[in-house]
Amino acid sequence: MAESGRGPRERMVFSAAQLIRRDGVTATGMRDVAAHAGAPRGSLQHYFPGGKEQLVNEAVDWAGRYAGKRIERFLAGLGDRATPSGLFAAMVRQWTDEYQAAGFGAGCPVAAATVDCASAGTSTRDAVADAFAAWRCPLAGALTGMGVPSARADALATLMISALEGAILLARAEQDVRPLATVAGELGPLLDSAVRP
């Protein structure tokens, strides 16, 4: 999840997403975000008058849009031979590659915000739901483009995201990429069987 050439506000949103994916919402402080972003602490109130909740919501929104945009990049990498299993394998490979290169210290910021904030009566719950939708909708569209009936594409997109998020949690707990490989191998044939000529 790279960031470059952005202003202080965008850097802080990106930094919040990175810290949330590593430490969770509760352990991510506003000062930590400003320091990570290389932004003056005084700019937090200026850019985020709604405080930490606003910053978390924007970080979650950024993460959902990022995940949704990755679908297009994965498809481009697959070319004309794109299949549902190939797309899911590419989604899984992003995490496998990260964990093999950098260790198991970080997960999905949207999932972290869900764990920390889903029971709270805040706008973050809505932001999390919107972020998952921003990921699920392009994924369902990609499946439809590969020949999965539209009536089934949304359900399979939900299954893919759920399986990936669960495998990320297991991989972090076990400090092993095996759960990621398992979901890719087991779910792939089911996904491909949904394609209709």
Q: From CA 119, how far away is CA 190, in angstroms rounded? A: 33
Per-residue pLDDT of 59-68, as tens digits, reads: 999 999 999 9
Q: Which residue has the tokens 């996904």?
A: 191
Per-residue pLDDT of 6-32, as tens digits, reads: 789 999 999 999 999 999 999 999 999
Residue 184: which region, alpha, beta or left (left: phi > 0; alpha: psi -120 to 50)? alpha
User: Quick one: pLDDT at residue 116?
Assistant: 86
Based on its alpha-carbon atoms, the radius of gyration of the chain, rounded to whole angstroms, reads: 17
pTM here? 0.91
Q: Are 178 and 96 in contact (CB under 8 A)?
A: no
Q: Looking at the predicted structure, is the pLDDT value of residue 2 above 60?
A: no
User: Quick one: pLDDT at residue 149?
Assistant: 98
Structure tokens at 44: 């937090």
- E strands, 19-147, are none
Closest CA to 127 of 58, 29, 50: 58
Phi, psi (deg, nearest 5) at residue 36: -60, -40
Q: Which residue has the tokens 């792939």?
A: 188
Q: From CA 79, how far away is CA 153, in angstroms rounded? A: 20
- Look at 117 and 106; give whichever has higher pLDDT: 106
